[in-house]
Amino acid sequence: MGILSKKITVLAGDGIGPEVCREAIKVLDAVAERFGHAFDYDHQLMGACAIDATGNPLPEATLQACFRADAVLLGAIGDPKYDHNPAAPVRPEQGLLRLRKALGLFANIRPVTAYDVLLAHSPLRPERIQGTDLLIFRELTGGIYFGEKGRTDDGAAYDHCTYSQAEIERIAHLAFQSAATRRRQLTLVDKANVLETSRLWREVVQQLAPAYPTVQVDYLFVDNAAMQVILNPRQFDVILTENMFGDIISDEASVIAGSLGLLPSASVGSTVALFEPIHGSYPQAAGKGIANPIAAILSVALMLEHFGLLEEAEAVKAAVQQALTQGVLTPELNADQPSGTAQVGSYIAAQVAAHDESPLYLENIGVGLSTII
Ligand code: IPM
Ligand code: MG
């Protein structure tokens, strides 16, 4: 891979979003310096900060900046002043949902890894979670999130869930392709015993399966899957599921990693891809320097893979592994000798910038997405 120049639109957002984005950019700058690339950042508003500034959670200027970009880096959005007001006419989340739809980001990919050095930090028993390496493919632009919603004349409320065959096929292909390069196992999580949309998901996945003869497909109802994910997470390789089930299962699965602050995600689709930590805006921690920047930094590693910069992505992942091994971690993962958000970011950036990584640290920490985005 030669020297690249990339334009990245940064939507730092709300709460801890700006803090973790700052560290992710530090790491990107270290990558640029070491490998000779040029990353150009275009900061734009989205979420509660955009509502405060413009009245709109996704201003037109932000959307246009995303379309112009080679990739989007998102911090987090959300503010309690909206969460506690169900009648709020505009909400930060609307910005994110509109952005996903507008950019056609139909697949959200969330890797979940149990890091050996952090096994003790999970509330789950180490022997249950050790070796977990799973990838969730969550459908992101359809289903109940985007169906018609409203109130009836008699005061009831409804949210419609609809999926077309095409919407299921396009993400299912990505999940099959990914499984084929991993441990060749695909689990469709649905509620086909109750929901018609889930029955369509099963039909479509069954139709596609013969095209991927090396991949073994199995099916789990979402209630059982919620239990299996924490009872025996090693049984999963690639999980494919619809929008809302994926939202729920991925937060649940993050418990395996030991902190929500470790999990990155990539959203891909028809145009520019977007990279974001799966955690929220964590407003209680904002400005305190205690937010874990690793999820944002690993999101940048996924971005680099997406650009085809595999060596660069490996350098970031190796640097994160060093921070984990050396205990350079925010308080939720190292209560005795905590580092601040900026310290963790600087440490990881310095590891990336250093050219003398020992092979000991070069082992892949298992994000393992290089072939699918
Ligand atoms: C996520 C978040 C969002 C979602 C919210 C903020 C709308 O929970 O990315 O998982 O539900 O998709
Ligand atoms: Mg969520």
Calculated CA dihedral for residues 38, 4, 352, 30, nearest 10 degrees: 0
Measuring CA to CA, which residue among 171, 219, 158 is closest to residue 193?
219
Query: Which pLDDT tens digit goes with each residue over 100-123?
Result: 999 999 999 999 999 999 998 889
Per-residue CA distances from 340 to 73, 137, 293, 304, 333 (Å):
21, 32, 9, 25, 11
Catalytic annotation, pick one of 14, 26, 82, 145: 145
Instruction: Please determine, for residue 339, whether its predicted confidence score (pLDDT) is greater than 60.
Output: yes
Check: CB of residue 71 under 8 Å from CB of residue 273.
yes
Compute the mean pLDDT over every residue in the chain, rounded to the nearest whole number: 93
Q: What is the mean pLDDT of residues 214-218?
A: 98
Catalytic annotation, pick one of 115, 191, 237, 282: 191
Q: Which residues line ligand 1 (CB under 6 A)?
A: 78, 93, 96, 247, 278
Tokens of 300: 């940048």
The residues pairing with 219 across neighbouring beta strands, listed in sequence order, are 188
Task: Give 1-105+269-373's CATH code, choosing from 3.40.718.10, 3.40.470.10, 3.40.50.720, 2.40.10.10.
Answer: 3.40.718.10
CA of 247 to the centre of ligand 1 (A): 7
- Which CATH code fits 107-148+157-259? 3.40.718.10
Measured by CA distance, the residue closest to atom 10 of ligand 1 is 247
Query: Which pLDDT tens digit goes with each residue over 134-147?
Result: 999 999 999 999 99
Instruction: Please determine, for residue 308, whether its predicted confidence score (pLDDT) is greater than 80.
Output: yes
The answer to whether 158 is a known catalytic residue is no
Residue 206 CA to its chain's centroid (Å): 27
Query: Which pLDDT tens digit goes with each residue over 183-206?
Result: 999 999 999 999 999 999 999 999
The answer to whether 40 is a known catalytic residue is no
Atom index in ligand 1 nearest the CA of residue 77 equals 6
Q: Do 1-105+269-373 and 107-148+157-259 have matching folds?
A: yes
Q: Please report which ligand is nearest the Cα atom of 145.
A: 1
Measured by CA distance, the residue closest to atom 9 of ligand 1 is 278
Q: Quick one: pLDDT at residue 370?
A: 40
Q: Quick one: pLDDT at residue 1?
A: 61
Q: Please report which ligand is nearest the Cα atom of 244.
A: 1
Catalytic annotation, pick one of 40, 149, 223, 288: 223
Name the percent of the chain lying above pLDDT 70: 95
Which residues have a Cβ under 8 Å from the Cβ of 326 and sit 6 or more positions away?
347
What one-letter code names the amino acid at 76? A
Check: CB of residue 291 under 8 Å from CB of residue 277.
no
Query: Which pLDDT tens digit goes with each residue over 272-304?
Result: 999 999 999 999 999 999 999 999 999 999 999
Report domain extents, the chain: 1-105+269-373, 107-148+157-259
The answer to whether 133 is a known catalytic residue is no
The answer to whether 223 is a known catalytic residue is yes
CA of 295 to the centre of ligand 1 (A): 15
- Write down the residue that tokens 């950042």 correspond to: 41
